[in-house]
Chains A and B, each alone.
Chain A
Amino acid sequence: MKQESRTAGIVAGLLLATLGALIALSTSQMRIAPNYAKMGPQIFPYVAAIALGVVGLCFLIQAFRTGSEKLAADTDDTDWKALGLIAAGFVFEILFIKWLGFILASSVLFFTVSLGFGSRRYVRDIIIALVMTTIAYFTFTKLLNLQLPAGVLGGLF
């Protein structure tokens, strides 16, 4: 547990400091008109960059000083399979929402999330997914005028 907190603290510190450095770098490449020098668009990004560096350093110091503060969550018991399923469903939605359309792509997302949450009633979940996304599709496109991709099912409606 302690070992994990320390590693997590170091990783957090390094990530934050890196993000700060990236922001500073990106900001330093802006061209600032001289009359804006003291109140220009670069000031707040620099403040954010420095602040990120400082909190990153704080995390590093804390991690090396025996990690007095507990960093990891209460449990180490992480269900990575569940996370993987949800992530896969999400990536599927991103890749296929245009081509397959909202209804089919979102049904896949719904199904993988329900799998991730431990449901094993596959048929029920698929039926609910299709019904729910179809109702959502028609509510939003017909009632609320919010366009959603019809995809391969487009010819049917």
Chain B
Amino acid sequence: MEAMQFLLDGFATALTPTNLMWCLVGTTLGTLIGILPGIGPALTIALLLPVTAKLDPTGAFIMFAGLYYGAMYGSSTTSILLNTPGESGSIITAVEGNMMARRGRGAAALSTAAIGSFIAGTIGTLLLTFLAPVFVKLALRFGPAEYFGLMIFAFTAASALLGSSLLRGVTSLILGLALGLTGIDELTGQPRLSFGILSLLDGIDVVVVAVGLFAVGEAMHIASRKDLREAEVLAVKGSLFMNREEWGRSWKPWLRGTALGFPFGVLPAGGTEIPTFLSYFMEKKLAKNPEEFGHGAIEGVAGPEAANNAAVAGVLVPLLTLGLPTSATAAILLVAFQQYGLQPGPQLFTNSGPLVWGLIASLYIGNVMLLILNLPLVGLWVRLLAIPAPLLYGGIMVFSALGVYGLNHSAADLIILFILGIVGFLMRRYGFPIAPVIIGLILGPLAEEQFRRAMMISQGDASVFVTHPLALFFLVLSVLILILPWILKKLGAGSSLGEAAS
């Protein structure tokens, strides 16, 4: 049980007043951005990167992790009271939770979401604590060929499973890859895909891409659709204390949601959407009164909310132990590590043990903070929803421009931001998922690095990817993921998941 010892040391790090403060800042900020529609954790962490560059890395990561967890808590409040998902992992909550609120049980919906998130987040963090050392041992055996295979698997999983269609997911991913390749090649110093434009030589900053696609694109999308601009905020009605029946109907979905969410986070399947959908359908199947679903069934809030929080904990396993981001936020977190000269992976645990274990310990503390922030204090947060959309999005656009201009003080970055904003708008309008772009942008150059290292070691012999059993395994798995939906369609099994996602 060496993990126990590390964890205790981690608590010693996390419980210092400074780090507790960062945890509180992160969880509060996370709840805030989770509640506000239009901004999410990936975007916020990207905007914070330049400001946090001078901070102590441990404190910064404690804040970022609290922010990631907090966004999941906060978004459920928006979904329930506004019928607009604060984040993509809360789409289901926006349906079922909002129906509960309309029937005067909004407070119970908020409670089951917050307590479910707490339980799932805590179990997920426990699993992270004990799985991480196992993953580290496994990862130590990985060479470049294995990493390359794993990354290709992450690529295909992300594009196949995020969004409504495989073709669009793959397109998004390739666009991200192309953006990631832009700029000077690190190995040879040659400029690539810069088309003679000077400001493209340094590459396109992830902050610009994230802010452009997420914030500017989202603002344009909402502005262009009158039906999305006007949403009605429901008041919190009823007691925040759930009655016996509501507890009885909630606890099993919490646990089942956790069981679904965590593995999906760990696998390079990307993000929180799928486990929340799966959890919803599972609860509907298992429910005694499935006809209540769609009209405000508490199980339909409890399960998916637990699933998305457990998935967030799961996402941290491959991120910390393998350096493999499986969601847009994880990809930005990876950039944050690189900013401090740290490379997530097995070495991180040996070289920066106090940081990693302090971070993991802070997740337990953050969960407790979030439960308090989101239950007794929910009334305070609800007032944020009263901010009129014109002012909210005006503010989001000003801070987007500020964050990007602040990077290099160049108007060229603002032009790129504007173009990417239009791209983000068009992608939303025509149903292309955004997250694969960010994953392609970050993971693409990393996959290329591993590919070239493997090829150098083998002196240009591409068969290394087939002769190394693990590398071959991942590549075969990737092919399977790409053709499986097609086979299922041929077999007439239909894709209830795809239908649900669209």
Contacts and interface: CB of A to CB of B under 8 A. Distances in A.
Interface of A: 8, 12, 16, 19, 22-23, 26-27, 30-31, 33, 36-41, 43-45, 48, 51-52, 55, 58-59, 62, 69, 71-73, 75, 77-80, 82-83, 86-87, 89-91, 93-95, 97-98, 102, 106, 109-111, 113-119, 125, 128-129, 132-133, 136, 140, 144, 146-149
Contacts of B353: none
Contacts of B422: 87
Q: Which of A12, A36, A90 has its CB near the most chain B CB atoms (within 10 A)?
A: A90
Nearest to A145: B54
Interface in B178-213: 178, 181, 185, 187-188, 190, 192-195
Contacts of B349: none
B50 interface: yes
Contacts of A106: 398, 401-402
A115 B399 CA distance: 17
Contacts of B193: 23, 26-27, 45
Interface in B398-450: 398-399, 401-402, 405-406, 409, 411, 414-415, 418, 421-422, 425, 428-431, 444, 448
Interface stretch (B20-28, B319-327, B364-372, B387-395): B387-395
B174 A55 contact: yes
B282 interface: no
Interface residues of B, number: 63
B174 A30 contact: no
Nearest to B171: A55
Q: Give 5 nearest A-B pairs by CB, closest first.
A: A119-B390, A114-B390, A117-B390, A39-B455, A38-B460
16 contacts: A23-B178, A30-B190, A48-B181, A51-B174, A77-B227, A78-B224, A80-B224, A82-B223, A95-B411, A97-B414, A106-B401, A110-B398, A111-B394, A116-B223, A117-B394, A119-B391
Contacts of B220: 83, 86
Nearest to B184: A41
B256 interface: no
Q: Which of A39, A62, A98, A115 has its CB near the most chain B CB atoms (within 10 A)?
A: A39
Contact of B398 (A27, A80, A133, A144): A133
A45 B51 CA distance: 33
A71 B430 contact: yes
A116 B225 CA distance: 11
Given A44-B177, A129-B394, 13 more contacts: A16-B171, A44-B451, A51-B170, A69-B165, A78-B429, A79-B224, A86-B219, A90-B414, A94-B418, A97-B401, A118-B389, A132-B398, A140-B406
Interface of B: 50-51, 165, 167, 170-171, 174-175, 177-178, 181, 185, 187-188, 190, 192-195, 216, 219-220, 222-227, 229, 388-391, 393-395, 397-399, 401-402, 405-406, 409, 411, 414-415, 418, 421-422, 425, 428-431, 444, 448, 451-452, 455-456, 460, 462
A78 B225 contact: yes
Given A106-B401, A116-B223, A144-B51, A8 B451 contact: no
A12 B432 CA distance: 11
Contacts of B222: 117
B455 A140 contact: no
- Contact residues of B: prevailing secondary structure: helix
B371 to A, nearest CB: 30
Contacts of A69: 165
A72 B395 CA distance: 29
Nearest to B216: A90
A109 B398 contact: yes
Nearest to A105: B401
Q: Which of B181, B219, B393, B397 has its CB near the most chain A CB atoms (within 10 A)?
A: B397
Contacts of A75: 225, 227
A90 B389 CA distance: 18
A118 B418 contact: no
A102 B223 contact: no
A140 to B, nearest CB: 7
Nearest to A93: B401
Given A41-B188, A59-B167, A86-B223, A125 B391 contact: yes
Nearest to B461: A38
B225 A148 contact: no
B23 to A, nearest CB: 21
A117 B219 CA distance: 9
A52 B174 CA distance: 7
Contact of A110 (B174, B190, B394, B448): B394
A58 B170 CA distance: 11
Contact of A93 (B195, B389, B414, B430): B414
A98 to B, nearest CB: 7
Contacts of B227: 75, 77
Contacts of B165: 69
A73 B430 contact: yes
A148 B393 CA distance: 21
Contacts of B194: 26
